[in-house]
Structure 1
């Protein structure tokens, strides 16, 4: 799985897990993160949402090949949903950045 999630002690951790591609984000990965964030927002036991990458790299950004094949062409595209979700989060968002970002 390219995105891993776990809940523990009030923390929803969303882990970018695509090291072979330097954690470059695809539309499917954005959608998975959106779904996880929505779940975290609706779960009263979650107090904070934590984004982590790998020790070598947090994320190289968008996967250009996927981005060209699946360009965000409407507000319902996963990348725009992700941007909306992070800008409207009611719970604290933390990015534990290690390595390149």
Structure 2
């Protein structure tokens, strides 16, 4: 709950807590929720918690460039992110 609050939330929405617990338990997890229902927290919170223990990378794969842009722009301040997609220049991809 401390980590959840650090990301700016006070409680989980429907489906989030079980998904996060599965991920933290090392289980493969498929979460299907409607747009705006909080799927991002389900990978951001485990990524944040893993990073507290040791250096790590969380890889999120999305086929939608606009979603990648939105996700990076909307990351909580305590998380860093990057995106790689076909609309970037070679210099941007290399960086």
Same fold (TM over 0.5): no
The structure with the largest strand share of the pair is 1
The structure with the largest helix share of the pair is 2
| Length-normalised TM-score, structure 2 | 0.28
User: Highest Rg: 1 or 2?
Assistant: 2
| Length-normalised TM-score, structure 1 | 0.27
